[in-house]
Amino acid sequence: MMKSSTKGFTLMELMAVLVIIGILFGIIFTGASYLFSAQEEKKAKAELEAISLALEDFKSEFGDFPITEDSSSEDECAKVLFMTLSGWMDIDGGEIPGEERGRSFLPSDSFTLGKKEGESIEVYSLTTEEILGNSGVNKEIFMIDPWENPYVYQYPRLDGHSGFLLFSRGPDGRSSEFRSELTSTPEKQAIDLDNIPDSEPGKW
């Protein structure tokens, strides 16, 4: 009689296969994370450029940029930025009724909006009535970056530099803060390395 034998994988061979699969998954995950991060950064840069152009357009029509010197917090400044560029608020911060809403300086449907809920920020969608200008708009909303943090806006700048301050804090949501006039160029901190653009908020 002939003997029949079956050959299977040894424990070492199975472990080697699992290790290879793990390495492949790691490479794929790392690559996907890098591409996703690059896309978010690209989106933030494009949105900041669009906002900057809208601010210049606003200034050419009204003689100055939206003013935030009476705003008590960065959230308030972000609200002023959106409300003025969207035509719901005048240059001095006065609310404009829905039926008298001015023209929007922002590209339509180009930005994600957010609203503060406690300590967190939730994505907010405009109603049809708000979009058509048939009613006022929620005064608590602002434009958010790809990491769902409000874009930082300030005019006049508290650090003494000319023009407006406009940037994203990037993936970590943190950056240096300058609330008084600078007498020299500040030192760039580790939390500022992912800011967009990378020259803000210190004009390094």
By residue range, what is the domain housing residue 142?
Answer: 23-192
For residue 115, tell me if it sits in a domain: yes
Q: Rounded to whole angstroms, what are the CA distances from 48 to 140, 144, 167? A: 20, 11, 7
For residue 79, tell me if it sits in a domain: yes
Give the total number of structural domains in the chain.
1
For residue 63, tell me if it sits in a domain: yes
Length of the chain: 204
For residue 43, tell me if it sits in a domain: yes
For residue 13, tell me if it sits in a domain: no
For residue 143, the surrounding DSSP H or E stretch is strand 141-144
For residue 87, tell me if it sits in a domain: yes
Please list the pLDDT of the chain residue by residue as tens digits (204 residues).
555 555 666 878 788 888 888 888 877 777 656 566 789 999 999 999 999 999 999 999 999 999 998 777 899 999 999 999 998 888 887 888 777 778 889 987 679 999 998 889 999 988 777 766 666 677 889 999 999 999 999 999 999 999 999 999 999 999 999 999 999 999 999 999 999 999 999 999
Tell the residue number behind the tokens 């152009």, with chain if given. Answer: 53
User: What pTM does this model have?
Assistant: 0.79
